[in-house]
Amino acid sequence: MATEAFTIRADGETVRRLDQLAKQLDRSRNYLVNQAIQEYLDLHAWQIQKIEEGIAAADRDEVIPHEDVMAEMDALIEQRIRAFEDRP
């Protein structure tokens, strides 16, 4: 895949930490920045996909009512509290 150069500006502490990590991992600064950008893009693409799926499910009225979710969470919390209290 062809690459393109572009410039970013970062504060000195960020650059120092990046260089330190690059040295520890025996990788280039460029490699680490590319990895970070790829992970950022992947994460946000996943989040957007999940949000869009949730909106589509809500549009189809395929959602669990808030009260039902809260009741289940309260039951789970109560169960954990009891298990914690019953420990020797």
Which residues, 6 or more positions from 63, have their beta carbon under 8 angstroms from its beta carbon? 57
**What confidence tens digit (pLDDT) does each residue in 45-82 have?**
999 999 999 999 999 999 999 999 999 999 999 999 99
**What confidence tens digit (pLDDT) does each residue in 3-49 have?**
899 999 999 999 999 999 999 999 999 999 999 999 999 999 999 99
pTM assigned to the model: 0.69
Alpha carbons 59 and 55: distance in angstroms, whole number: 6
DSSP 8-state symbol, 6: -
